[in-house]
Amino acid sequence: MLIFRSNNTEVPYNLNDVKTTMSKLCVVSGGSRGIGRAVSRLLAERGYRVAVVSRNLEAAQATVVSLDGADHIAFSCDVSRGEEVQKTFEAIKKACGNISYLVNAAGINRDGLLLRTRPEDMLTVLQTNLIGSMLTCKAALRSMLYTQGGAIVNIGSVVGSKGNAGQSVYSASKAGLEGFTRSLAKEVALRNIRVNLLAPGFIRTDMTAEVTEAEAVRAVPLGRFGEPEDVAQAALFLLESPYVTGQVLVVDGGLQLSL
């Protein structure tokens, strides 16, 4: 596993000598691009320390370099791999201290009709979007239980509840994430840990590169594509709202109203 700190130094796995500060630490999975990058930027602007996680270390480093302030950190980790997630979260804790916040934005799609979807693609989507979020939640919870508090935001999708032809596997992963979020919220509420889910509609990122502006304008009552920053604002709201847990917040410009 490789990591990178915002002062441009690469450091090995053993991080005992790294100093930590007391500001809020948020791990953002999928923080290298799209929605996760926008979340990382907003949190850094608001005084959080951010640990950016993605498979591609260079892309995660680029996000860290672009963040306001110091003490942000980048990790390469494939969230679908249990052992890698555990080691990464241990390394984050060693480098930065206890983890109070987690935003799970790592996700992939392999869209297509079910009849044309290969079993290995089904597994990859479920393993990344659903199991990956479970693994990171589990790893972060160890730290949150220790400090007796925290907040998690999982990124689902409007198709998790509404469904969409050509996205059966992807929407199953997001529907699963909704059920997981509600159940986990109940499990950890008395430990002062909140767990919520954001359900975005069309957001302009690499994942929606094939959706045209005209399609989005036609489908969305607010008449525009969502920007990653629109989702980031909602993530911040959920992280910072002390009496909100087990909820699904839809961020879709009204798209769901017409589905």
- The answer to whether 170 is a known catalytic residue is yes
Residues 149-208 close enough to bind ligand NDP by CB under 6 A: 155, 157, 200, 202-203, 205-208
245 binds ligand NDP (CB under 6 A): no
Residues 110-129 close enough to bind ligand NDP by CB under 6 A: 128-129
| Binding window for ligand NDP (CB under 6 A); candidates: 11-19, 30-38, 110-118, 141-149 | 30-38
| Binding window for ligand NDP (CB under 6 A); candidates: 17-25, 29-37, 140-148, 235-243 | 29-37
Residues 197-216 close enough to bind ligand NDP by CB under 6 A: 200, 202-203, 205-208
232 binds ligand NDP (CB under 6 A): no
Measured CA to CA, the distance from residue 166 to residue 40 in angstroms comes to 30
55 binds ligand NDP (CB under 6 A): yes
How many residues in the shown chain lie near ligand NDP by CB under 6 A?
A: 31
Q: Considering beta carbons, is residue 185 or 232 the nearer one to ligand NDP?
A: 232
CB of 5 to ligand NDP, least distance (A): 18
108 binds ligand NDP (CB under 6 A): yes
| Interacting residues with ligand NDP (CB under 6 A) | 29-30, 32-36, 54-56, 59, 77-80, 105-108, 128-129, 132, 155, 157, 200, 202-203, 205-208
